[in-house]
Structure 1
Amino acid sequence: MKHDNEENIRLKEQLKQKDEEIRRKDEELQREQEERNRILEENGKLKFENQMLKDKENTQNVDLKRIAEILRQPLVGTQQQQQQIQKQQEDECRKLIIQYEGKEDDEGRLNIINLGIVEALIYIFLSRSLDLITNPFSELFLKITTPSSDEIILQLFSKNPYPSLIRLLNHQDINIVDDAIISISNILIAGQNTTPSYSLHPHFDTISQCDGINQIFRIFKRNDIGKHSKRIAAECISFLFRAREISNSEMKKEIIAYLKQIITKKDKEEMNRAIRALKRLALNAANRTEIEKDGFAIPDDD
């Protein structure tokens, strides 16, 4: 009897262990299934998100290609048809201006450059009558230059924009002149930032070839432009003549006198920019002699 009880207890214990083992295996199988489901779900989400990103990128690229095609349209046909083309082009420019206003998006700007919008704008600036080049065109170009990294702006420089921007400096609309001189300045800054601080500016010859230096100096001398554009024009001259003598004596005297005069003002940002401009010019001995007349010493910028 006792032996039977012990045998029953042993059998029950074995059954209990088997049940426990089966339960553990079931739990392991369930965990494995849950893990597989989780991985499948994550992969599905990842694929979905990747597809969404691709769709978004493709949509943006298609839109940019379409805009480039619209901007490439020549003004032909009846006067009404030409006006319709002009309006459509201006509207497309405004859309991109709104999209990139103050927005750091190097990838988006690179797409604008690579998909032909910049080249279309440059062609408009070079070929169209100035009175038909309106503010949306010049403002969009400006928005492409800022806020942008130096690398993006150098991609823009590779499209040879200076001749077209220099042409805009002769525009009757001061706002377009402002856009052009600031765009020129932004491209010059990228050229400066990506070369040794003591070296000649790499864009000097390119701008000289389209009479850009004289055109920028004319902007500086104009009485009908704003103080901001006048200062930007002077800074452009300082970029171009970094470590290089300003050979035009009138230009040398007026630009240097103007920059020295800004230093006496209370606006700290303007003062520091003028100091840096003078330091660029002072890398050349002849410029430095003009700067140091009457005992003037360039102060340190903050």
Structure 2
Amino acid sequence: MEPVSVITGGAGGMGLATAKLLGRQHRIVLCDVRDDRLDAATAALDDLGITATAVHCDVTDADAVAALLKTATDLGPIASVVHTAGVSPSMGDADYVMTTNAIGTVNVNEAFFGVAGEGAAIVNVASMAAHMLPDSLIPSGHFPLAVADRDAFLAEMATACSIAPEEARSGLAYALSKSFVKWYSAAQAERFNGRGLRIVSVSPGSVDTEMGRLEEKAGAGAMVTDAAVPRWGTAEEMAELLAFCVSDRAGYLTGTDILNDGGVIASMTERARRNAAFGQVST
């Protein structure tokens, strides 16, 4: 049977771009919450001669995710899952952002762990936001609760977000949720390896997609002009990396995060170092 690649958020910019690459060798299963976008995405793939099965799925619903993976395994052995589904700070309140990005990641990864065979790989989309917060603001000691006790996890994350003003909490929730994705993808590597599976995360910078442009006036989007590469990244550039991470060519890659942000974090870090050094000289 033909190997299968599952792409969550598969009708979005990065998801669809990745499907166009993986569809050259695998049967594609696209998952999204918007039926209109799913129809358009499968039609676009069909025009390229790529067979895709569309599944309406909310990744925050564990039963729906289990059904998604069942659909995939009925079609063939799972080669990979590319988990791009997520939301940005402009798309909802802190609880919605945290639930979608963190709990959605747990649901997809745990379902993958349960059904994928040896040699399969999963890549989770984190964010450069996961590289911005100081460790003191990241409640990583509570991160394991996401697997063991969803409600307790969300309660702890709400407490962590409560230090920010109400209007800033969705932004903080986004950074914390993506920090969780980065943490989870490292923390589970040994466990996944026990079943011959690989798990990786990728942290994009500002990407020229529908969701990315929602942050154009603030947050990550405002940093583009100050990056080492002063432009938006493209969905296709991110897709090349995501597809590589789950390919056989990356067979030694697991338990790590790849920052692909056009140099934003590098620029911020170096400028902070220079400012600190200048302050010491000035005094």
Q: Please give the TM-score of this superposition, normalised by the length of structure 2.
A: 0.30
State which structure, 1 or 2, has the greater radius of gyration over its C-alpha atoms: 1
Q: Given the two structures, how large is their TM-score scaled by the length of structure 1?
A: 0.28
